[in-house]
Structures are given as structure tokens and as C-alpha cells.
Structure 1
Amino acid sequence: MPRPLDRVLDAVASVREDLAAARRRDPASTDDLTMLLSSPGLHAIWVHRAAHRLWARGDRPSRTAAVVLAQGARSITGVEIHPGATIGRRFFIDHGMGVVVGETAEVGDDVMLYHGVTLGGRSMQRVKRHPTVGDGAVIGAGARIIGPVLVGAGAQIGANAVVVKDVPDGATAVGVPATVRRGAAHPEEQMDPAIYI
């Protein structure tokens, strides 16, 4: 079992890693202190990590505390992440407002979401009902990924796209319903899909 000091050092290392990832992805960031104090996306993921640890305990009091903590973060940040969702390292939400991540969602490392993204469910059953997002995926503003679909590693989802089918690794999905194109949208420029409407 990790010692309390080890947990603190791990948490500090994780915050530093998140700040570095945010600075790389946000051209408007000025410095780490400003990001630390003012980024709702970072605040939401940090609270989520604490809520997820409580949720993982599995007992009713811990799960109740996890949900209350998550809802408190939602009211402050505008980002709703269910404490049951599994989220990888260096996750970044740009702007944050209106983001929803459902209970059975699984998000890999180095994933970036823009504002208004939903990783939503399609079933009322207690099954895997939310998306799985692979490492390095980028999901544009307002996109909706609904159901237990897989968004592959390095995939790009365009702004306002509605994804209800799997998106392969490295592909781009745009439109309503989303259609998949192989390869990056503009390989020569590696543009984010957030530019698409």
C-alpha cells in the first residue's frame, strides 16, 4: 500500500504532467500558474480523479461521496464527468463548458476534447453503454459520440459530428451522422477537426 507521502508526490507529478499537456495544446495559455488557477478543464479532471478513486471503492457511502463531489465540480466548471468513467493521463478539455462524460466511458492517454462534447450512452441497461476513446484522439466542439462505440487511437472527430459507429485508428469522422474518412483531415497541416462545421 502506497505511503501518504508517495500519494502526494504522485499527485503533484500528475498535476505537472497535466499542466505541461495543457500548455502544449492551448495556444492562449500564458504560464503554468494561470492554467493552474483558471482552467476549468483541468479542475474538472483533477476532481474527477479524486471522485473516481472513491467510486472504485464500491461501497455505497464512497459512491455517494463520489457523485456529490462530481456534481460539485460540474456546478463550478460546467464539465460533467461521471465518477465511474475511466480517464487516462494528460487528458485535456479546452474551454470545458458543456462537456459530458458518461459512467462507462473509457478515455485513453493524450486525448483532447473541445467544449460541448458528449460521450453519451444509448442504453438504460447496466452494461457498457458509453464510448471508448483511444490514445491521442481529438474530439471537436459540440461532437456527440453515443453508445459503446470505439474511437480509435489518433482519430479526429469533427465539430458537431454525431458518431454512432466505430471510427478506426487515425481516421477522421465528420457530419451528422458522421462519415469516416481514412487518414488525417489535412495531413500536410495536421489541423484539428474543430475547424469543421
Structure 2
Amino acid sequence: MTTLLSALREDLDAARRRDPAARSLVEVALVYPGLHAVWTYRVAHRMWRRPGLQFPARLVSQLARAVTGVEIHPGARLGRRLFIDHGMGVVIGETAEVGDDVVLFHGSTLGGKSMRKGKRHPTLGDGVVVGAGAKVLGPVWVGDGAQIGANAVVIHDVPPGAIAVGVPATIRLRTPAAPFDVEVDDPAIYI
């Protein structure tokens, strides 16, 4: 139980650090649906791994979906310090694997492209950012530190540190002259 509690605390701290609008740990703990979805997933995933508890695990995950607007299959494998910003509409499929320190924005999907059994959802490396409304579909691999732009549709692997944008997504290698993370007060966006 200590391990679960430390994981829940890590999730709380990660949300507080990553959201500049967060004013306190209490606020984050009480009103962040993405955090509540991750916490509920952590309980449901433990149930999922025990024989005879898959159905109750699915019930728990569906209850979380109804309350938070975030659907995380209890069979998915999520890393440490996942932050789901805003949350509404996020979907994470059964065979998805998510690394540590990943950020998912609202409306993003880690989904499948086929109905066959086996690995059919994406694998995200550590430090990946998936923009609002983005869809990462199929058993693709997204490398460490990669960024998926808002509303992109990713159906091919994305190398570490790259940026994927568009429909279907094209890969752009990150350069100092073309960063993905632009600050609102950055004068370069007005040029």
C-alpha cells in the first residue's frame, strides 16, 4: 500500500509542478479530473492484474470515466508522474504503454486502428507531450521527449525528440530556431 500511496503523491506533485494555474496541492487534489482519473486507474490496474478481478476493474474504470470524462483502460500500462491537463475526452486503450513524465492534453487519444487481438495501441517514451485533440493510433512508438502537436493524427513511429504535426502527422526534427513550446509573451510569435 505504501507504494501506491507514494505513486499517488508523485502524481499530485507532478500535476502541481506542470500546471502554472495550480495554486495549491489541496486545489489540485480536489478539482483536477485528470489527476482523479490517473488515481482511479492506479487502483483499477492493480485489480486488473489479479485473477477474477478484471470485470470489477472495468467497472471502476467506467465509473471514473463517467465522473472525470477520461477513459483509461485498466489494462494499459502508465508510467510515473503522468499529467492529464483538463482531461475531458482523453482515451487510453488497453494495450497502450505510457512512459514517465508524460503530459496528455484534453481530447487526446492513444487508440487502436484494428480490432485484432494483441498490441494495437501506442507506446509513448518518457517525457512525451501529446497536444490537445491529437490522436496517436495503432501500435506505433513515440520516442523519449517527442511532442505531438494539437489535432495531429500520428499513425507512424516518431523518433526521440521530434515533433509530429498535421493530418496525417509529418515528422519535424526540433531545432533551436523552431521550438514547439512557445511562451505567450514570446515576441517571436508576433513577427
1:97 aligns with 2:88: yes
Please give the alpha-carbon distance, in whole angstroms, between the structure 1 residues aligned to 2:24 and 2:130: 24
Q: Which residue of 1 aligns with 2:19?
A: 26
Paired residue secondary structure (1:68): helix
| Superposed displacement of residue 189, structure 1 | 7.6
Could you tell me which runs of 5 or more consecutive residues in structure 2 were left unpaired when the two chains were aligned.
184-191
| Superposed displacement of residue 13, structure 1 | 1.8
**Paired letter, 2:140:** V
Indicate conservation of the 8 Å contact 2:122/2:137, yes or no.
yes
1:85 aligns with 2:76: yes
Q: Which residue of 1 aligns with 2:143?
A: 152
Q: Which residue of 2 aligns with 1:195?
A: none
Q: Which residue of 1 aligns with 2:117?
A: 126
1:69 aligns with 2:60: yes
Query: Alignment identity in percent?
Result: 60
User: What is the RMSD of the two structures over their aligned residues, measured on CA atoms?
Assistant: 1.6
1:52 aligns with 2:45: yes
**1:189 to 1:124, Cα distance in 2 relative to 1, 3 A:** closer
Give per-residue Cα distances to partners, 1:57-116, cap 9 Å, x unaligned.
2x3x30000100000000000000001000000000000000000000000000000000
Indicate conservation of the 8 Å contact 1:51/1:67, yes or no.
yes
Paired residue secondary structure (1:172): strand
**1:189 to 1:182, Cα distance in 2 relative to 1, 3 A:** closer
Please give the alpha-carbon distance, in whole angstroms, between the structure 2 residues aligned to 1:189 and 1:126: 35
Q: TM-score, normalised by structure 2?
A: 0.91
The one of 27, 33, 56 equivalent to 1:40 is 33
Paired residue secondary structure (1:14): helix
| Superposed displacement of residue 151, structure 1 | 0.7
| Superposed displacement of residue 191, structure 1 | 3.6
Give per-residue Cα distances to partners, 1:101-135, cap 9 Å, x unaligned.
00000000000000000000011111100000000
**Paired letter, 2:61:** A
Please give the alpha-carbon distance, in whole angstroms, between the structure 2 residues aligned to 1:79 and 1:184: 33
**1:166 to 1:142, Cα distance in 2 relative to 1, 3 A:** same
**Paired letter, 1:15:** L
**1:81 to 1:152, Cα distance in 2 relative to 1, 3 A:** same
**1:188 to 1:98, Cα distance in 2 relative to 1, 3 A:** closer
**1:151 to 1:158, Cα distance in 2 relative to 1, 3 A:** same
